[in-house]
C-alpha cells in the first residue's frame, strides 16, 4: 500500500487550519490553497492584485520545492479571485511564474472569509520519483 507524505516546509506560511500545505501521493503533489501570507510574519500581506498574486505564487513555489518539485512540474492550478476585474493583472504575474510551461487552469471569482484578501491559488504537480 502506498503511503501519503504530508509536507510542512519550515520557510512557508503555517496552515491557518487543520490541513497540510501539501500532500505527496505517488507521483503527484497536491498543494493546498495559498494566499498572500508573508512567511516571515505568518500574516496576510494585503496589496494590489499583482503584489498578492506574486506572494501567493512564491508561497506555492516554496512548498513545491520542499516536495522536490518546481513550477515546471505543475499540471493544474485553480485560481480564486475576489474580483473578476483583477483577472488581467493576475494573469501578468502568473505568466512570470509559468512562462511557456502553462498548466491547465480554472479561474473563478469568489467571496473569501477574509474580505480584504484578493487571491488564493492551489495546484497539482506531477513529479515522478
pLDDT in tens, 15-68: 888 899 999 999 999 999 999 999 999 999 999 999 999 999 999 999 999 999
pTM score, whole prediction? 0.94
- Which helix (H) or strand (E) covers residue 81, if one does? strand 74-81
pLDDT grade, residue 95 (50/70/90)?
very high
Say if strands 119-126 and 104-109 run parallel, antiparallel, or are unpaired: unpaired
Amino acid at each position: 500500500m502506498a503511503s501519503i507524505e504530508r509536507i510542512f516546509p519550515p520557510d512557508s506560511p503555517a496552515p491557518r487550519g487543520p490541513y497540510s500545505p501539501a500532500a505527496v501521493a505517488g507521483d503527484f503533489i497536491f498543494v493546498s490553497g495559498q494566499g498572500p501570507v508573508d512567511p516571515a510574519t505568518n500574516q496576510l500581506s494585503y496589496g494590489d492584485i499583482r503584489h498578492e498574486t506574486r506572494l501567493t505564487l512564491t508561497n506555492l513555489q516554496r512548498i513545491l520545492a520542499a516536495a522536490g518539485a518546481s513550477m515546471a512540474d505543475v499540471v493544474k492550478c485553480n485560481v480564486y479571485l475576489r474580483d473578476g476585474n483583477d483577472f488581467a493583472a493576475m494573469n501578468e504575474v502568473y505568466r512570470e511564474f509559468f512562462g511557456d510551461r502553462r498548466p491547465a487552469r480554472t479561474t473563478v471569482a469568489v467571496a473569501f472569509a477574509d474580505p480584504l484578501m484578493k487571491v488564493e491559488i492551489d495546484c497539482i504537480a506531477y513529479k515522478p520519483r
